[in-house]
Chains A and B, each alone.
Chain A
């Protein structure tokens, strides 16, 4: 890491152009952004959007995935739609969202939710389908059925797969959000990137990128690392 930063510093020194700022300039832009509050506000705005959109995406995606796995009606009616839509980058929905909702939070949330919910649904469908039949049969012989069987047996058994989908969903949500904020200006890190471009402030642009990377890493550590460990502990390494 330190070596990479040193190489970066050396390279920008050699290039010696404002288009390739070194780590010190980027650090300065970062500190400046934090001090005057723009960076913090943008980060909070983006993080809140991300969390809201992601929670909604999970709330839609997991039940949709269960439906796809278990209900022939849902599979036949929604299956092709889900498969088709999940290959569309969710940012393609932004124009439509803007027409529907105008320049509002709703528009950007639609993009985030669509981006994240579909991979979650597809992963959940697969995970539920691959729960070993004997696990559910065993639970049924003990008297579990219906919603209780689903909640206490099928979903826990499918958890490693669902968690995988949740991770993919998170990165999709982050990507969709950044794309949306870049195109459609209203606070957030994406907009700050756009501001940096408008001002020709490369250091600011790179500083925002650093913040986005940090956001991604932090969410990985805070949200998923613990879940991964818990699953590795229970299922053994091969199940995680």
Chain B
């Protein structure tokens, strides 16, 4: 696995040096497939079903968003593809071969960025390259390229705590891209950011994805974010976590944050989710909950008598 990873980096460096290659990375994405994947955790008598019978195909270079409320197993799918978790049944494939554990061909960006606090931004980005035994000159070249890609060149010597949340996430994206992975797995990477920063980073991510053509699986509970970014939105439900529905987002790119069509599609999907969320809240509130018009879609006649 290490040998191949090195080859990709080699390719990337060659590609970045040749004048014709305007793209910062050489290796395009690879396809991901889940075949009837289930995950149960805990002792046999008290097992919790985390994910039931999930089947999903992600094409090479596709941008897929997993959208759903907490507990719908969307992060679980990400962990399964990353190799951080193993399915109880079913198969997870990258290209033709089953995923057997974590590897630098499938990079993960976490919600909290997970940059290493004891390393400067630059050393953070070079860390995965060091793991693969790259020489320091090659590392420096690659990290410069990535720092420029995410517009953090000026901040290369800062420690993570000296960066803003948005900068940390961009740094995490650069680090994830360092080994030139075939698949980029993103676990609510922008959820902890303020709305403006989030929109800027969404735009940057779209740009980086267009330039690198990685396969991206992006987990979010933000409908607009999913619609803005994805080629395809996969809607997930809870209890147990499972895939409910898929929706292809056929809008031209690059998409603007303010695009009307994004809003229209998003509100359609939001209605679908609302009923799913309501189900959870009802269970948690033990039937004391009355949904405020989530079904009615604004028709006042359906609320008659409710306020009495």
Hey, which bits of chain A sit against chain B, CB under 8 A?
132, 134-135, 137-144, 148, 152-153, 156-157, 159, 233-236, 239
Contacts and interface: CB of A to CB of B under 8 A. Distances in A.
9 contacts: A132-B112, A140-B84, A141-B82, A143-B2, A143-B5, A234-B159, A235-B118, A236-B159, A239-B117
Nearest to B124: A138
Contact of A135 (B106, B116, B132, B159): B116
Contact of B84 (A137, A235, A239): A137
Most chain A C-beta atoms within 10 Å of own C-beta, residue among B103, B107, B114: B114
A144 B132 CA distance: 9
Nearest to A144: B131
A142 B110 contact: no
Contact of B114 (A135, A156, A159, A233): A135
Nearest to B127: A142
Interface residues of B, number: 27
A138 B2 contact: no
B90 interface: no
B114 A143 contact: no
A142 B132 CA distance: 9
Contacts of B103: 141, 143
Contacts of A236: 159, 161-162
Contacts of A141: 82-84, 102-104, 106-108
Contact of A134 (B106, B112, B159): B112
Contacts of A234: 117-118, 159, 161
Nearest to A237: B161
B104 A138 contact: no
A128 B111 CA distance: 21
B239 to A, nearest CB: 25
B179 interface: yes
Contacts of A157: 116-118
Contacts of B104: 141-143
Interface in B98-134: 102-104, 106-108, 110-112, 114, 116-118, 127-128, 131-132
A239 B107 contact: no
B132 A138 contact: no
